Amino acid sequence: MAITNVTAVGQDGEKLEPLCIADGNVNSRGISLASSVQLAYESPICEYPKKPPLDRDFYQQAMKVKRGLVFLREKKVQSKKWERWWVRRVEQGARRADTPAACPPPPPPGRRAPPPLAWPLPRAPSPAGPAGPRSRRESAGRGRRGMARRRCGRCGRRGRRGRCGRCGRGALLACAAWTAGWVLAAALLLRAHPGVRSERCTDEKSRRILAALCQEYQGGVLVGDLCEDLCVAGQLRYQRCLYYERGKKVLQATWRGRPIILKSKEEAFSSFQPLSLPEDAAEEGGPDALEAELHLLVAGEVRNALGLELSGGSLGPLWPGRRGGGRRGQLASLWALLQQEEFVLFSLLQDLSRHALPVLGSCGHFYAVEYLAAGSPRHRALFPLEGAAGVPRGGRGQARAVSDMALSFLDMVSHFEDDFAHRLHLCDVKPENFAIRSDFTVVAIDVDMAFFEPKMREILEQNCTGDEDCNFFDCFSKCDLRVNKCGAERVNSNLQVICDKIFRHWFSSSLGSWAIPFPLQRQLRDAVQECADPWSMARSPPRAASDVFWKLRSLLRATQRELQEAEK
């Protein structure tokens, strides 16, 4: 066995105590862990394989510390507590490595040194001492201590009650559990709120999308009545990006001095399914046969998207970009627009409802609607009142505006329930999906989750094991456990959801500052609570739900009268 004394030099140039290197074992005092490892690697007399010549227990501890630091760095755990804990472990291990140990004695003359051992070293049994074998009590006690040590782990420390202290493995497991908890919470958040997965909305990307749109327009791939103003005349100018959500792009622009919104379900024109028509349609019957074939396809698309039958022999408002361009570009642009349910619904309702946005035009797969400031929970009244006409300042003016908007919401509910061939269901009710005009008319500006009765029944009628499986956003159904099938009938209503998510915010204790008489406040609050309860509305007959509607309407009318008299 080769034994060599090596003199180490510290960072300040001073000589440290000799190091004893025997078969690669380094024992040092006043030298860091990194210096010990580097010195052992550079020693030409080390007979062990190229492994850190440290005590096996400390080497394994150091590796755990290293893996823990790498784990924390890779997971981007911003916790000073964990970093301080790992630094303490390194310092404790370094102090243990710096403890001096006597050099092993040389082998007897005439006896060969043992061959190099593999790393890590196996744990050898302790030899018997000069007194011979230990007694059974001694052996049993030592065995119990060994078992406790193995139970604690090599990095553990026994406390006063014999329990193990924290060690690197336990800390890693705790850190992994902590990280897994955050990952699970993030996954649940993404499932509950898919909008969290939204892309980052940037002006640079928005301009690039519009530039690609104009390039395809100039190549004859797509057409639209807004393409000329956007790509050639400069009458339609991009202003800012509003949001990207699950592929949907919403941009704000000005068109001939008028603020508008550009929308599309997808970013690229090529993301939409291409139109496939029989090649012999145009050859046999000419353009009329081709348009008849297209009408059949459009009717099928409207039936699939909204559950409605398209009547009449003309495409009507569903083709705003029919002017200009070749026949191929017109058909491709129309087909891309018809694959967007919101465009189809806005186009069908624009001449029938004042609570829906009209379509102003299109360019390829982008369509334009009127710009209105959306609501937000950040506003005390949920909607910005700066642009509304005749809103006096103070609590009384805000109370009057709220009562006008609430009456408009009730008018929209009645309109969507009774004025169409089928009831229109709103399955995503929140302030961000509505806006108000200057005359306090409520307008639905995002109807991606609005469905007519036939489509609603098709969505709700699914397999289930409980009532929670029959909830489609804000549209609820009940599970029939006899057949494990959700009922096709919606058990709540547009009125119930609006009372819960809009009216409940307005008609609460905060109304005390709006100069409304207290008895009227209490009646409004009680009526809203009754209206917002989904199960009471579900158990009530239609007549009772109608009574709640008219009660709310009469109380809001009375509120308006009280406010007008107070202003006089």
Q: What is the mean pLDDT of the chain?
A: 74
Least confident of 75-89, 428-442, 554-568: 75-89
DSSP state of 499: I
What pLDDT score was predicted for residue 518? Answer: 83
Q: List phi, psi (to 5°) of 237.
A: -120, 135
Q: List phi, psi (to 5°) of 541.
A: -70, 160
Contacts of 286 (CB under 8 A, 6+ apart): none
Least confident of 185-194, 298-307, 429-438: 185-194
What pLDDT score was predicted for residue 154? Answer: 44
Nearest to 194 by CA among 449, 502, 365, 458: 449
CA distance 357 to 182: 41
Using only C-alpha atoms, the chain has a radius of gyration, in whole angstroms, of: 38
Report residue 357's pLDDT band, with 50, 70 and 90 as the boundaries. Answer: very high
Nearest to 467 by CA among 487, 492, 495: 487
What pLDDT score was predicted for residue 287? Answer: 61
Most confidently modeled range among 116-120, 144-148, 458-462, 510-514? 458-462
Tens-place pLDDT, residues 245-268: 888 999 999 999 999 999 999 999
Asked whether the predicted pLDDT for residue 158 surpasses 50, the reply is: no
What pLDDT score was predicted for residue 300? Answer: 84
Asked whether the predicted pLDDT for residue 338 surpasses 70, the reply is: yes
Least confident of 160-169, 205-214, 420-429: 160-169
DSSP state of 77: -
Q: What's the token pair of residue 438?
A: 């200057």
Percentage of the chain modeled with pLDDT above 70: 57
What pLDDT score was predicted for residue 412? Answer: 97
Percentage of the chain modeled with pLDDT above 90: 41
Average pLDDT over residues 300-305: 84
DSSP state of 229: I
